[in-house]
Structure 1
Amino acid sequence: MKKIFIATAVAASLLSGCASVPMDTPEKAALAKQFNPPTEGHSGLYIYRDSVFGAALKKDVWVDGKCIGETAPKIFFYEEVTGGEEHQISTESEFSPNDLLVKTESGKNYFVNQYIKMGAFVGGANVELVDENTGKQAVAKLDLAMKGICSK
């Protein structure tokens, strides 16, 4: 019984609290939230984390092996990628990265939700492609995180 209590306490401490990451300027956030089409020949990727579940956890996100940044609750990133290609969006999880492949079209924006999930020892993360309307509604309520800062 004591072991169950300790395990529950440890899990609760990992999933509560609030992680923070460096934020970009409000001006850049406002510009990104206009959801303008990406530059010619490119696609836009909005990668966001809107859930407070696992608020104490920070999780790295990569696009095509490049560090985009470290997430915390209620933040998003915007990244332009070459349009007309398949791109790999990855996030760290408990034992290995979780990957999502997105085939993009030039001139379109795509929205990827990163969410925290329970793990055996620590919370993990996963990514999922969401429709444009859902993504825009979520991103509109979030803050823009500074890119390029990852823990690994």
Structure 2
Amino acid sequence: MKKLALTLIPFLFLLLGGCASVSMTSLDADRQAKEFAVADDKSNIYLYRNEMFGGAIAMPVSLDGRMAGRTGPETFFLWEVEPGQHEVVSHTENEARLTLTTEAGRNYFIWQEVKMGMWTARSQLHEVSEEEGRAGVQECKRADSAF
């Protein structure tokens, strides 16, 4: 039993502290997104993951039923969408879902929280205030998205 624990402990640290590789945007696109400008007739949805916990796990995310991309530690997405209802799903060991009803000319922020799972990471999605969301996005780099 002791040998098994000694074997699993380093693997657990690697799993929780490693770094997942995800496709990133340019520095210019990252900088522009952090200006938080939104078109008068559109809504912006920011999804960010500002934790290193679960860093070895890339987490697939979909928007309105279409795969948007994968988050890694300290990354974010920006999606410009039509005002109305939108569903965001984080596809991890569980499927965390969040539905937003957006208005034109506004930013919306979702924090993707990483949780410990049985076999791999789990996640939870939280809509957060603009103040909290902007601070979280500033801690991250922009990941490439299909939108």
Q: TM-score, normalised by structure 2?
A: 0.90
Q: Once the 2 structures are TM-superposed, how far is the Cα of residue 8 of structure 1 from its aligned partner?
A: 4.1
Counterpart for residue 27 of structure 1: 28
Q: Which residue in 1 is equivalent to 2:62? A: 62
Unaligned 5+ segments in structure 1 are: none
> Which residue of structure 1 aligns with residue 79 of structure 2?
79
What letter is aligned with 2:27?
P
Question: Contact 2:77 / 2:142 at 8 angstroms: preserved in 1?
Answer: yes
CA distance in 2, matches of 1:125, 1:78: 19
Residues 12-51 of structure 1 correspond to what in structure 2 (within 5 A)?
A: 12-37=13-38, 39-51=39-51
Match of 2:87 in 1: 88
State the Cα deviation string for residues 106-148 of structure 1 (Å, max 9, x = none).
1100011112101112111221111000110111221111113
User: Which secondary structure state, in structure 2, belongs to the residue aligned with residue 24 of structure 1?
Assistant: coil
Aligned partners of 2:46 and 2:107 also within 8 Å: yes
Provide structure 2 residue ranges, at least 5 long, that are not aligned to the other structure. Answer: none
Q: Secondary structure at the match of 1:111?
A: strand
Q: Does 1:137 align with 2:135?
A: yes
For the aligned residue pairs, the C-alpha RMSD in angstroms reads 1.8
Q: What whole-Å deviation, never above 9, does each CA across 1:35-81 have from its counterpart, x for those lacking one?
A: 112x2332100111100001111001111112221110111110011
Aligned counterparts of 1:15 and 1:93: Cα–Cα separation in 2: 14
Q: 40-49 or 128-137: which moved more?
A: 40-49
Distance 1:48 1:62 in 2: 13
Contact 2:86/2:101, CA 8 A, preserved across alignment: yes
Cα distance in 2 for partners of 1:46, 1:24 equals 14
Report SS of the residue matched to 1:90.
strand
What is the count of residue pairs matched by the alignment?
A: 146
Per-residue deviation, 1:12: 2.7
Structure 1 residue 89 displacement after superposition: 0.7
Deviations 1:93-113 (A, max 9, x none): 21x421011111111000111
Is contact 1:11-1:122 (8 Å) kept? Answer: no
